[in-house]
Amino acid sequence: MIGKPMWRILLLFPLLCASWTVAQVEHVPISHPVYEFLDRLGVEGVLPAHSSSMVPLERGEVSALLRTAASFRSSIADVGGGDVEGATLDKYLKEFAPDAGSRPGEDLVLLGAHESFGAFIAGLASQKQKYLVAYADSFITIYGELLGSAEYRSLNGDSRGDVDATLGTIGGRFRGTIAGKVGYLLQSTNGVLLGNRTFALSDPRLATNVKLNEPNSRNFDVTEAYLRYSFGWGGVQFGREFASQGVGYSDRLMLSDNAPAFDALGLSVHYKAFRFQYLHASLLKDPSPAVGLLVTEPAEANKYLALHRFQFSLFDRLNVAASEMVIYQRLTPEYAYLLPVNFFKSAEHSLRDRDNALLVFDVEYFPHPGYKLYGTWLIDDIDFKRIGTGWWGNEFGWQGGAYIANIAGLRNLDAIVEYTRIEPYVYSNREAGNDYSHSGIGLGHRLQPNSDEMLGELRFRVSSTLRTRLHYSYQRHGENVIVGDSLVRNVGGSLTQGHRSSDSETAPFLDGERVDTHRLGIRADYEPITDLFVTGVVDWTNAHDVTAATSRRDLALSLQLRIEY
């Protein structure tokens, strides 16, 4: 028998009794697959008009949504989800139960008491929810998880030849709730890179990691942390975590998770059919600022993002939303953008029109159970008098698509068709440093301006532990003409290169160095043991430079093993 070691008592992490009822107000990370599952239930009509357009959500809200779905369990079978979707629901109900961590038969706490060493080892390979530590009482909850991953990546083809890289990370996550009102998170990992450094740095997140970019360094680290105060129908938060806003599946025009996480002050409200989100964030300027743009702010000025979003759900069939984002530079935050409900675009005009303001309108429509139609219109800048003239300053982004669940009556097989178009100069700005980016990585869609993409994707959930995807996309992009290190012709093909006074007043779509790209990929996410994840990805790319009449073909592979114990 393993006894009660003194270190366990000193750490104050005993198992709690099953009567615990404290709320869960910390967030569920946006990478968690439960969001994909809830979104699918919304399309099927089990959760009418549910939207994953504003994430992350509080853990308690996710738990409530899952319990709502469970109350309509018969509907899951009726719409075609069957045993797989029911088993998936049961899996998440177990994970997000209010008494998680307190159930000896279903949970394994690594630093808790165990019947024997053999039982402990068997528990590691079981379907129990696993925690490094778990403690809760009527005042506080503390959950700790050991995070670790090993990933192998390879690329073979014309772009880089035959290269590979191996990434390993180790770290931890602590989260919980205090007094049913204050949620907290501290997550930190350290990693090491083995293999081709240049290939690894083609990953945007690694490319912006300061530690990895030090001379001869092969180490990198990532940290997220926040404090959140919840008042039931909303909350205020300060800290750093990944967030995503807007609709879309290939990516989101408004706010995606491509760039590194940033520090922000946030406010969220959820009352009946109304949702509101506000962020005021501190960003990093581009590592290599574009040459030739207007310089109006001092070099020591900080870069900020102000964002708010208003969303209404109507008739259990329709979600409509309006949003604003402003990128600006000041020595200190601008008071006009600190007011969550201010009209940012008008305020930007009154502040002498020196900032980059964007408007976004999006809609989700559920015409019938099993179907969702959605679309987004992003306005970076507009002059109604010049619409149709090809003027460079009318900068729009469009995205539209359809999600069909259980296509052709086949259970758990879904299809997504989506088109995205980003006009020249969208996200960029004529003022140096005001482009819509963080550390040089776009905050919105991964496509560069002066591009479009047609995407088709099939999703098949084989079981509650295995999800697969097959996707094909066709992209077109008009690149700026660059000779050596000099920009010879600017056609609005880069988010960091805004329009200059010497550039053409017209910007035809797809002008410049035309590159057409076909992508075909397959992905599988497998969780053979609870909290142990295996992800495999295969991507084939054929990029054809129409202007130069050359092509590049590449095959990329990745295999990742990840634990959250």
Q: What is the pLDDT of residues 317-358, one digit of tens each?
A: 999 999 999 999 999 999 999 999 999 999 999 999 999 999
130-176 confidence digits (pLDDT tens): 999 999 999 999 999 999 999 999 999 999 999 999 999 999 999 99
Whole-angstrom Cα distance, residue 413 to residue 462? 9
- Tens-place pLDDT, residues 179-188: 999 999 999 9
For residue 514, the model assigns a pLDDT of 97
What are the strands, taking DSSP E only, across 159-245?
A: 161-178, 182-195, 219-230, 234-240, 244-245
Residue 121 phi, psi dihedral angles, 5° rounding:
-65, -40
Per-residue pLDDT for 79 more than 60?
Answer: no
Q: Which residue is associated with the tokens 């030849």?
A: 161
CA distance 281 to 256: 14
> What pairs with residue 219 in β-bridges?
192
Degrees to nearest 5, angle at CA 187 with 185 and 191? 175
- Residue 78 confidence (pLDDT): 55
Identify which of 443, 451, 337, 433 has the alpha carbon closest to the alpha carbon of residue 396. Answer: 451
pLDDT tens-digit series, residues 504-549: 999 999 999 999 999 999 999 999 999 999 999 999 999 999 989 9
Q: How many residues does the chain have?
A: 565
Neighbouring C-beta atoms of residue 383, cutoff 10 Å: 10
Average pLDDT over residues 88-101: 91
pLDDT at 224 over 70: yes
Q: What is the pLDDT of residues 112-134, one digit of tens each?
A: 988 899 989 999 999 999 999 99
Alpha-carbon dihedral 54, 58, 59, 64, rounded to 10 degrees: -80
| 264 to 114, 241, 351, 362, 530: CA distances (angstroms) | 41, 9, 22, 24, 33
Q: What is the value of pTM for the model shown?
A: 0.92
**Over 70: is that where the pLDDT of 82 sits?**
no
pLDDT recorded at residue 11: 35
Distance CA 154, CA 537 (A): 11
Written as one string, the DSSP assignment of 225-275 is: EEEEEE-SSEEEEEEE---EES--SS--SSB-S-SPP-EEEEEEEEETTEE
Helix axes 82-95, 59-71, angle to 10 degrees: 140
In this prediction, residues 225-240 reach a mean pLDDT of: 96
In the chain, domain spans:
6-564
Answer yes or no: is pLDDT of 386 > 50.
yes
pLDDT confidence of residue 80:
52
Rg of the chain over CA atoms, in angstroms?
24
Q: What is the mean pLDDT of residues 277-304?
A: 92
CATH of 6-564, one of 3.20.20.70, 3.30.200.20, 2.40.160.130, 3.40.50.970: 2.40.160.130
CA distances from 224 to 195, 241, 254, 264 (A): 27, 5, 22, 11
- Please determine, for residue 12, whether its predicted confidence score (pLDDT) is greater than 80: no
Contact 423, 447 (CB under 8 A): no
